C-alpha cells in the first residue's frame, strides 16, 4: 500500500511538470493590461476614423509584424538580420509581378489567391537562401552579409525595368475582393491586419516553447555544446530564417495592399527598404 502511495505521490509532480509549458504559454493572458489592449484593438474601428485606423494603427501593426520576424531571429536565435525589410519588399514585388496592377506589361494578371501564396513562397525561399549564407558566419559578418543582400536587391530593383519597372516601381496594384467585400476598405483591411498580426504573434509564442524553439535557444547560448549533443546547428538556424522570412513576407504583402504600389525609392538605416 505504501509503495502505491509513493508512486502516486511521485506521479503528480511529473504530471505538473508536463503541464508547465502550457501554463507558461498562457501566462501572458493573466495580465489585465493584455486583455485591455486586445479589447481596444478590437473596437478601434468604432472610435477611430479611416486615417488613424489604417495609417497609424494598421501601419504600426504591419511594421510590427516585420519587426517580429527580426525579434524572433535576434531574441531566440541570436542572429541579427538587416534584410527583413528586403524580404518584405520582395514579397510585395512578387504580389505586383504575379498579380494585377496598372503595369499590364509587367504583371502576369494572376488572381490574388494565386499570386499571394506564390509571393509568400518565393519570399520565404529568398530569405531562407540568404539565411543559409549568413549562418556560416558570426557576429558582424552575419550583419554585413544580410546588409549586402538588402543593398544588392535595392540596386537591382532600382535599375531593372523589365521585371521591377526600375525606380518608378509598380502602381495601382489590385487588392483582394471576394464574398462581396472589398477587403482593402478601411474596416475590413484593419481586421485583416489585426488577425495576421495576432496569428504571427501566437505562432512565435508557440514555436518559442516547442522543442525546436528550445533547441534554437540552446544554439543561441552555446552552439558548440548543442553540436556535441547531436543537434545540427546550421539546420536550426536556417529553419529559423525560414520562419522569420515567412513572417516578414506576410508583412510585405499587407504593406503592398495598403499602399497599392511598391518602389525601391526609400532606404532606412542604411538597409535597403523597398517600400
Place 10 in a pLDDT band, splitting at 50, 70 and 90. Answer: very low
What percent of the chain has a predicted confidence (pLDDT) above 90? 58
Burial class of 151 by CB neighbour count within 10 A (0 to 12, 13 to 18, 19+): middle
Give the Å distances, CA to CA, from 52 to 45, 47, 254.
Answer: 9, 10, 17
Q: What is the pLDDT of residue 138?
A: 79
Mean local confidence (pLDDT), 173-193: 88
Whole-model pTM: value is 0.85
Residue 16 scores a pLDDT above 50: no
Indicate the average pLDDT of the chain.
84
Per-residue pLDDT of 26-64, as tens digits, reads: 455 677 788 888 888 888 888 888 788 888 999 999 999
Give the Å distances, CA to CA, from 202 to 26, 65, 199, 207, 247.
Answer: 10, 12, 5, 8, 12
Amino acid at each position: 500500500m505504501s509503495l502505491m502511495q509513493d508512486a502516486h505521490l511521485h506521479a503528480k509532480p511529473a504530471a505538473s511538470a508536463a503541464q508547465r509549458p502550457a501554463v507558461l504559454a498562457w501566462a501572458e493572458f493573466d495580465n489585465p493590461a493584455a486583455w485591455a489592449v486586445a479589447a481596444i484593438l478590437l473596437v478601434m474601428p468604432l472610435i477611430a476614423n479611416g486615417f488613424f485606423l489604417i495609417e497609424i494603427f494598421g501601419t504600426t501593426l504591419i511594421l510590427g509584424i516585420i519587426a517580429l520576424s527580426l525579434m524572433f531571429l535576434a531574441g531566440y536565435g541570436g542572429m541579427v538580420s538587416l534584410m527583413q525589410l528586403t524580404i518584405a519588399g520582395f514579397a510585395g514585388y512578387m504580389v505586383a509581378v504575379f498579380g494585377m496592377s496598372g503595369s499590364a506589361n509587367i504583371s502576369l494578371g494572376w488572381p490574388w489567391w494565386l499570386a499571394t501564396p506564390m509571393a509568400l513562397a518565393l519570399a520565404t525561399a529568398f530569405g531562407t537562401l540568404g539565411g543559409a549564407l549568413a549562418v556560416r558566419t558570426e557576429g558582424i559578418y552575419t550583419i554585413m552579409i544580410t546588409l549586402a543582400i538588402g543593398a544588392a536587391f535595392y540596386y537591382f530593383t532600382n535599375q531593372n525595368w523589365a521585371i521591377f519597372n526600375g525606380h518608378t516601381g509598380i502602381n495601382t496594384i489590385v487588392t483582394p475582393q471576394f464574398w462581396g467585400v472589398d477587403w482593402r476598405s478601411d474596416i475590413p483591411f484593419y481586421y485583416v491586419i489585426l488577425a495576421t498580426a495576432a496569428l504571427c504573434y501566437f505562432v512565435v509564442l508557440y514555436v518559442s516553447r516547442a522543442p525546436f524553439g528550445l533547441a534554437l535557444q540552446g544554439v543561441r547560448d552555446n552552439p558548440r555544446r548543442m553540436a556535441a549533443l547531436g543537434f545540427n546547428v546550421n539546420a536550426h538556424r536556417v529553419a529559423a530564417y525560414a520562419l522569420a522570412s515567412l513572417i516578414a513576407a506576410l508583412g510585405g504583402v499587407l504593406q503592398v495592399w495598403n499602399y497599392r504600389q511598391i518602389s525601391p525609392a526609400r532606404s532606412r538605416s542604411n538597409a535597403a527598404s523597398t517600400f
